[in-house]
Amino acid sequence: MSQTILVTGGAGYIGTHTCLKLFEAGYEVVVLDNFSNSSPEALRRVEQISGRAVVSVEGDINDAALLERVFAEHTIDAVIHFAGLKAVGESVQQPLRYYHNNVTGTLTLCSAMKRAGVRDLVFSSSATVYGDPASLPVREGLPTSATNPYGRSKLMVEELLADVHKADATWNVALLRYFNPVGAHPSGLIGEDPRDVPNNLMPYIAQVAVGRRSHLSVFGADYPTPDGTGVRDYIHVMDLASGHLKALQWLQSKPGIKAINLGTGKGYSVLDMIKAFEKASGKRIAYQLVERRPGDVASCYADAQLAASMLGWRAELGLDAMCTDSWRWQVYNPNGYDTDNEE
């Protein structure tokens, strides 16, 4: 019989793509999302692509009574936990909201899992837990640190989950440290839909290309990198979604808790990204070199060996696919999911 996975935050950017991969692999899915940073339309698109009905519950991971009901009404085998707030700048302004949502929310979820006897958990962590990486490429054993409440919330959850596992070794937990997710489903029907001015590079470039913004500000051209701009490990969201499936299968066969990088192992600069996007879109991306953004590091890219050897997972899609798929999503949905009913 097929397994049922509770996907918190399943209406979000990475969650929707992962739901599709879960359906493809024969899993049943229950999405729990409060739509604080997403739209129910995203789940309708998942249904359109997959031809499957998405069981979705609108609500908050901090609602213990609701979680109890979800676990009572569905036989959940494992949880993939995406629900969280992710804007670094906002987390500095609103630390209590971020800790409540990301940390208390995870505690509430784990308590409900414990009561329901569910012990298999995949958690969305981030490469941000490496702070300014002590060495490159970034290996999982490097020291961790946080420079803002968002990053600290991820570190806190990693640590609290380690304690939960220490106290009860029947918990099986994958702490997936994502590098920089970009791209979209090749259909162009789902993708990243930032609510305000994008903070992240790729959605900003895409909005410049489509004419929604005049130009990109390149934050810093004096880093100790080949062209002076920041270097990151951009990973296609479809590869990232596959990584979740592999992690789920791994933790169900080999109990324990493990932090695992999900990245490509390759670093690209901001100027590399602009060039690649220009090639994919045929549009010129106007940009200005400006001051560094506070809190940014010069370079960050993964050592992706552990995921390869332990999960049998490797990123397969390159920069071309990342840019082409982001562009297709942007062109089909210039205002994100809001455009749906306009034609």
Helix/strand/coil for 242: helix
- Interaction of residue 216 with ligand UD1, rule CB under 6 A: yes
- Interaction of residue 199 with ligand UD1, rule CB under 6 A: yes
Q: Which does 293 bind (CB under 5 to 8 A by kind): ligand UD1, ligand NAD, none?
A: ligand UD1
Q: Which does 149 bind (CB under 5 to 8 A by kind): ligand UD1, ligand NAD, none?
A: none
Strand 231-232 to 299-300 pairing: parallel
- Interaction of residue 200 with ligand UD1, rule CB under 6 A: yes
Quickly tell me which residue has 């913004």 as its tokens: 213
Q: Which does 218 bind (CB under 5 to 8 A by kind): ligand UD1, ligand NAD, none?
A: ligand UD1
Known catalytic residue at 178: no
**Residue from 27, 150, 204, 337 carrying the catalytic annotation:** 150
Quickly tell me which residue has 């070199």 as its tokens: 289
- Interaction of residue 230 with ligand UD1, rule CB under 6 A: yes
DSSP string across 57-79: EE--TT-HHHHHHHHHHS---EE
CB of 177 to ligand UD1, least distance (A): 9
Residues lying near ligand NAD in the complex (CB under 6 A):
8-9, 11-15, 32-38, 60-62, 82-86, 101, 105, 124, 126, 178, 181
Please, which residues have CB within 8 angstroms of residue 54's CB and are 6 or more apart in sequence? 10, 19, 29, 31, 43, 46, 47
**Interface size with ligand UD1, residues (CB under 6 A):** 21
- Given 24, 44, 296, 314, the residue binding ligand UD1 (CB under 6 A): 296
Nearer to ligand NAD, 14 or 323 (CB): 14
Find the part of the chain contacting ligand UD1 (CB under 6 A) among 51-59, 275-283, 289-297, 327-335: 289-297
Q: What is the Cα–Cα distance from 342 to 18, expressed in whole angstroms?
A: 27
DSSP string across 202-256: HHHHHHHHTTSSS-EEEE-S-SSSTTSS-EE-EEEHHHHHHHHHHHHHHHHHS-S
- Chain residue whose CB lies nearest ligand UD1: 230
- Interaction of residue 262 with ligand UD1, rule CB under 6 A: no
Q: Are 123 and 176 spatial neighbours (Cβ–Cβ below 8 Å)? A: yes
Q: Are 116 and 76 spatial neighbours (Cβ–Cβ below 8 Å)? A: yes
| Active site amino acids | 150
